[in-house]
Amino acid sequence: MIPLTHSLFVGALLFTLGAAVVLLRRELLFLLMGLEIMFNGAALSAVAAGQHWQGAEGQVLAIFLMAITTAELVVALILVWLAYQRFQAICVDDLVALRDGRSEDSP
């Protein structure tokens, strides 16, 4: 039996690592990977909590999370691919169309 704190610690670690990747890297694919890791951290916490309270909800939540991430990933990958195709962009800093007042010099 793994104590709750351990699994939560691992979950938090995963989440933090993912967040660090999202914040620090600039490549689009890395960002996606960072996001997945954050999801995994969250799912792990859910499973652990479910085990702690002897309930199935945690595992149900984890399964849903996996399904949702899959779906999300599909859309996101298409978007990344499109971004590459349209703007030749693999780096997130190349996509600045939302910048205020400078829409004319979009990449």
Residues in CB range of 12: below 8 A, 6 or more apart: 41, 45
Look up residue 105 and give its DSSP letter. G
CB of 58 to other proteins, least distance (A): 21
Q: Judged by CB under 8 A, does residue 105 bind other proteins?
A: no
DSSP string, 50-100: HHHTT-SHHHHHHHHHHHHHHHHHHHHHHHHHHHHHHH---BGGG--TT-T
Lookup: tokens for 21: 């990747």
Q: How far is the CB of 64 from other proteins (least distance, A)?
A: 22
Per CB under 8 A, does 33 bind other proteins? no
**Amino acid symbol at 73:** L
**Radius of gyration of the CA atoms of the chain, in A:** 18
Of positions 54, 88, 100, 104, contacts other proteins by CB under 8 A: 100
Q: How far is the CB of 48 from other proteins (least distance, A)?
A: 19
Nearer to other proteins, 31 or 47 (CB): 31
Q: Does the footprint of other proteins cover residue 13 (CB under 8 A)?
A: no
Q: List the one residue from 9, 57, 82, 99 that touches other proteins (CB under 8 A).
A: 99
Q: Which residues bind other proteins (CB under 8 A)?
A: 19, 22-23, 26, 31, 92-93, 95-102
